[in-house]
Structure 1
Amino acid sequence: MCGIVGLFLKAPSLEPQLGALLSTMLETMTDRGPDSAGFAVYGDTAAGVKLTLRGADARALATVVTRLEAATGQQACAARARDTHTVLTVDAAAADAVRAWLADHAPEIDVVSAGRRMEIYKEVGLPAAVADRFDLAGMAGSHGIGHTRMATESAVTTNGAHPFSTGLDECLVHNGSLSNHNDLRRRLRREGMRFATSNDTEVAAGYLSWRMRAGDSLEEALRASLTDLDGFFTFVVGTRTGFAVLRDPIACKPAVMAETDAYVAFGSEYRALVGLPGIESARVFEPEPAKVYAWERH
């Protein structure tokens, strides 16, 4: 089942409304995934790297951040708490050392995402409740993607919720199922990719990050996935400046898009798009099977 939404703003004037628009779209997809939800927002560019951390609660995260600052000398880092998540901004050169310290000394803390612009938030619960917990409606940015999950093949956990991120400012949401993800996970680990869960969507995210790390554009990486990934899927992908959609060659999962001069929007169903400004004059279409739709903003 599951529901996907995505919004890529062409008009900077809409950026203050990104979170509010994405929140409404996400809540509309509740029937497709009521057990957990998550979203990624591309907002202000940090001077360093933003690490989105998840812990048991804000107090536990604050304690870990204090220990981290003392151990690594990152006293200048900024920490912004949102419920069970904290966005920690660190010097780019220190990001790997900070992640290594967290893995060794605070394994109970998950690093949900890393990037100069991207922040990811996800939790168990109804989409509207998850959006409210993290104040999605109050967030601004150029683009964002969201996912509502119905865990038909795995446990209802926060670690199983989308989006998944395996590269700086790179994230993916997925509706469908991959059949060769275990083999691909082993191959990607030999290439240095790291995975935190057994979810097939994280493998798809890792595959795209691996291809782009080798020099592919987002569009080229998605084209290659049509050969290397087995199964059925709809992907919506975000990068620091890009937004893309791909359906597998069979395209059995529902998908609809709308484009105007001001934005590009994606929803698993059209009703997720009806509240967008100017939707009555948008070009509304169903993305074709095995065709990459990609937009970049510079």
Structure 2
Amino acid sequence: MCGIVGLHLRNPELHPRLGELLSGMLGEMQDRGADSAGIAVYGDPTWSPPGQGCVSMLETGVADITGAAAAVSEALGTPVAAQLVDNTLLLTAASDSEEILAAARSVYPDGLVAGFGADLAVLKGVGAPRDLVRAWDLPNATGWQGVGHTRMATESAVTPSGAHPYAVGPEQCLVHNGSFANHASIRRELRAAGIEFDSENDTEVGARFVAHQLAQGRDVETALKELCATFDGFYTLLVSNHDSFAVVRDAIACKPAVIAETDDWVAMASEYRALADLPGVENARIWEPEPEVVYAWTR
């Protein structure tokens, strides 16, 4: 199994409720995957202050936040703020996120990069999703877009590196329900192109593939169409970046998905019950996405 949720808010008046709404959606998907969970939140001013780059890192072993900020500041050559949200170290500065990322990697070479980019914070961990939601204080998060995933591990270890989202490009993230059958051969091709991997998870291969497509100048819809042509298996994918939100399913639409849309928001989930408490859902247009059709919305 595994559960996917995503919420793209069109109405700024709902931005203060993003975390509250995303928490309820993620909690409804706990019985689809209670091994681990993760979220990507766009626009929370505490986690990722406006106008600054942000890097989310796991497995750094940081206990001294002041020391962490000083060490990365020295490596970057400009002031860096640091905070711990449960087990995730968030590093922010008035610099490009990729420059912060390079400095953070020099200080924490064994750390796991969970995500990076302006206005983006990525949190993930091992444990029951509802417990993680409380540890992150997600209900108090704000912003314009959120993506979440609950995992039932089937082909790689239950570790933070195996949890979704996979946020491997700037301001990008991908979550996946299903399994890619030919991920090993595609991983080899991407490695031959110089792309490095953090896990043996098949989803990371999909995320790296999409990020590679976007880095070559393709838009999200084209990248996902290329993924459908390249990957074998069964999948529902939700891919987001700073300003877009896209959904695609495999050729036989094997894995469940439902989309709902109103003037105030667009949302998707593996099951309708994750959408049932969204404001105004009774007036939403609701449908199941068609096989290999890319549904995309831009902020």
User: TM-score by structure 2 length?
Assistant: 0.93
5+ long unaligned stretches in structure 2: none
More displaced stretch, 51-60 vs 207-216: 51-60
Q: Alpha-carbon deviation of 1:64?
A: 3.6
Q: In structure 1, which of residues 257, 265, 274 is the aligned counterpart of residue 276 of structure 2?
A: 274
Q: Alpha-carbon deviation of 1:262?
A: 0.7
**Equivalent residue number for residue 187 of structure 1:** 189
5+ long unaligned stretches in structure 1: none
Say if 1:71 and 1:261 are closer, same or farther in 2 by CA, change over 3 A: closer
More displaced stretch, 285-294 vs 65-74: 65-74
**Mapping of residues 1-298 of structure 1, within 5 Å:** 1-43=1-43, 44=45, 46-55=50-59, 59=63, 63-74=67-78, 76-92=79-95, 95-96=98-99, 98-297=100-299
CA–CA distance in 1 between the matches of 2:245 and 2:215? Answer: 17
More displaced stretch, 167-176 vs 217-226: 217-226
Query: Residues 57 and 85 of structure 1 are in contact (CA less than 8 Å); yes or no, is this contact kept in structure 2?
Result: no
Q: Alpha-carbon deviation of 1:165?
A: 1.1
Give the aligned CA root-mean-square deviation in angstroms: 1.8
Q: Alpha-carbon deviation of 1:81?
A: 2.3
CA–CA distance in 1 between the matches of 2:273 and 2:96? Answer: 44
Query: Residues 55 and 61 of structure 1 are in contact (CA less than 8 Å); yes or no, is this contact kept in structure 2?
Result: no
Q: Alpha-carbon deviation of 1:72?
A: 3.9
More displaced stretch, 193-202 vs 140-149: 193-202
Identity %: 46
Structure 2 residue identity aligned to 1:18: L
Q: Alpha-carbon deviation of 1:100?
A: 4.1
Query: Residues 267 and 273 of structure 1 are in contact (CA less than 8 Å); yes or no, is this contact kept in structure 2?
Result: yes
User: TM-score by structure 1 length?
Assistant: 0.93
More displaced stretch, 37-46 vs 10-19: 37-46
CA–CA distance in 2 between the matches of 1:246 and 1:60? Answer: 42
CA-to-aligned-CA distance 1:231-258 (integer Å, 9 cap, x gap): 1110001101000000001111111111
